[in-house]
Structure 1
């Protein structure tokens, strides 16, 4: 089994004594700035929604949520020198400065900042800058983890939502078997080689200011209870907030989008149009309007990749528990290997007509009104479909620029 991409030497800064795994949560000191860095697909959206939903009630218990939205993504992307999603406006340093102003306004009170994009910090210097600007010694880093085998399908379909055209099994081959394991998504292992992620932050803040929470998917609200304990909040103050826009796509939906990505790229359309029409038009409306049914086929990971993920997870768990960080939950869950699902037939992954209709409607609803036809212009029936797509793309882009 080729998993060289996951090997490394002993962890840095490994202490002589180990913190016992599965340590019970204990409240953090008053005035802590709790920095939740994700990574992606580890319950970040649910906890961000719960924190934002309780934003007005937490100050009564000495806790602030210093952000004006559920997820200050633009600010964190700017801080980590990352561009936005395909076609989106590039974040600026001003986004980050605005978040810092909100954090500083919390004064000596406890505060919590959450974004999975902190896990994309490219180097130690960026981590040091982020920690220093957020409060230095007051910062306590929280990392949430799930089994790699459960993260992979979710992360793949998320990449497809940002323009990826590669099929799942081919993508797994590249991530697990094809050195240097960075194509087509170099961000995957930076986020999800979890032991190395934690090491990067330990090098800056020290092991005593890092807490790792191993999420147990069998306890749907366990993560919220852990946050309440760490922040000194009463039980059940944090409640789930429904967010259909963040649901994962089914296999059929993902395959429809992946093939649309191929057509989009093949016609050379601009990224801005993808952001407007596809991700924030077709896909967003489809996810809001359609809920997966029990018969819809989910994305399943082949047995060889599940086994590889379990092996990597076991190695990561051993390295993490040797770092001296506080670990809440069972590290052995990181090597969990879910039973591979039976391979779906082509008929089973066909998208339902109503789902396709909602996706199409979402794209149409996002299209700005086309300008009036010019005199002498050719009719639609006289123009090739490829040329029509290009014309529509130019018109929509011009409209976007005017607004």
Structure 2
């Protein structure tokens, strides 16, 4: 299933990409799961080197997430400290300090800007006509499993196939995650931003997963940097969870919600404790089962990808890469049929141990604030569900006293 769209410009290693004008403020808006983390890591690690070529990375971290969430009027991840306007103001100050030099601002959360009024305010604050918007795209069939497990890391309790049913077969396709299609109906995303900045100031890059460093080379060409200046930065914390790891977390989410534990506890001990430590210390092995998308969903995603490619192709924006990739029905090796015994999600004892240790380490290092008082009641008068909630509150109280 392919469209008739052809590439506008061949990849950067073909040497035909025209660099953006000096002084451009390149705004990379993602969306999620399209290579954003790799680019952010590479640019942050090379920030001193790219500065010698007139390109500034104004953020002080790999990803200025709090600043962008504040700019888009979005709350943070479940249980995290709410972002404030001051986060965004500090980033704007550093962007303005770059003067007439080219600067790069990258965050996939720009794709969550709710409407054109918000987009217009963001663009105006970043420099108006100096802003050039860059959108990176991958096929939906490759985005969906990564996005589902990311939602699970933020508290989702729904299984993958059930989630796919809701996203692809149950109108209006906005439950349980209305953000998904706001981010990943890519033709509408490009349209929202094009109506504000104009199609001539938007570049769409189609990421080819077969060329692992192709996106790096494209950024170098657009920014006028020497080839191979940007290099992948190690980031184990951003790896995808295996099916077993995701299912473990999803079932923990069910217990967490059922017992009404405070969200601060989830943020500190689960997402930034258990999950983060497990990612950093355990690499998936050849026997670990990855998240597999059923064939019907791959085909449905390809049909939507064909519509997206056709509409973007007619939007008048600059396209780099092969738009046909967005609608190709292609299964990776992990998607192909496997023996039933190989599809059973079993978490490795080491991963489970590291997750548990992550909880303990987070509890010791970063006490969580919570002010809800536990009810005064004897153990024998308390249900199991209520007892778990009370114990959770007492644990938080002890951490606070530390």
- Relative to the length of structure 2, the TM-score reads 0.90
Q: Give the match for residue 102 of structure 2.
A: 110
Q: Deviations over 1:347-367 (max 9, x none)?
A: 731111111111111112112
**Counterpart of 1:68?**
60
Question: Conserved in 1, the CA contact under 8 Å of 2:6 and 2:324?
Answer: no
Would the alpha carbon gap of residues 26 and 399 (structure 1) be closer, same or farther in structure 2, given more than 3 Å must change?
Answer: farther
Cα distance in 2 for residues equivalent to 1:274 and 1:342 = 36
Give the structure 2 partner of residue 51 of structure 1: 43
SS in 2 for 1:295: coil
Alignment of 1:1-400 (within 5 A): 21-22=8-9, 24-339=16-331, 340-342=335-337, 345=341, 348-368=344-364, 386=385, 389-398=388-397
**CA shift in 2, pair 1:166/1:48, >3 Å:** same
Q: Alpha-carbon deviations, 1:303-332, whole Å to 9, x = none? A: 110000011101100110101111000000
Say if 2:67 and 2:88, in contact at 8 Å, map to a contact too.
yes
Q: Is the 8 A contact 2:6 2:323 kept in 1?
A: no
Whole-angstrom CA distance in 1 between matches of 2:97 and 2:400:
35
Distance 2:360 2:382 in 1: 20
Shift of 1:130: 0.4
- Further displaced range: 378-387 or 109-118: 378-387
Could you tell me how far 1:241 is from its partner in structure 2? 0.4
**Shift in CA distance, 177/151, structure 1 to aligned 2, threshold 3 Å:** same
Cα deviation digits, residues 289-310 of structure 1 (max 9, x gap) = 1000011110010011000001
| 1:8 aligned residue | none
Would the aligned equivalents of 2:7 and 2:321 in 1 still touch at CA under 8 Å?
no
Deviations 1:112-153 (A, max 9, x none): 000000000000000000000000000000000000000000
Q: What residue ranges of structure 1 are gaps of 5+ in the alignment?
A: 1-17, 371-376
**Distance change >3 Å, CA 401–CA 99, structure 1 → 2:** farther
Moved over 4 A (4+): 343-347, 377-388, 399-403
Q: How many angstroms does 1:392 deviate by?
A: 4.0
Deviations 1:255-288 (Å, cap 9, x if unpaired)? Answer: 0000000000011101110001100000000101
3-state DSSP of counterpart to 1:143: strand
Following superposition, the deviation at residue 400 of structure 1 comes to: 6.6
Task: Provide the rounded CA distance (Å) in 2 between the counterparts of 1:393 and 1:89.
Answer: 20
- Offset, 1:338: 2.4
Task: Give the match's secondary structure for 2:291.
Answer: coil
Contact 1:21–1:321 (8 Å) recurs in 2:
no
**Separation in 2 of the partners of 1:158 and 1:380?**
37
How far, CA to CA, are the matches of 1:217 and 1:400 in structure 2?
45
SS in 2 for 1:269: coil
**250-259 vs 393-402, which deviates more?**
393-402
- Aligned residue pair count: 380
Q: Give the CA deviation at 1:21.
A: 2.4
CA distance in 1, matches of 2:101, 2:44: 17
Q: Once superposed, what is the RMSD of the aligned Cα atoms?
A: 2.4
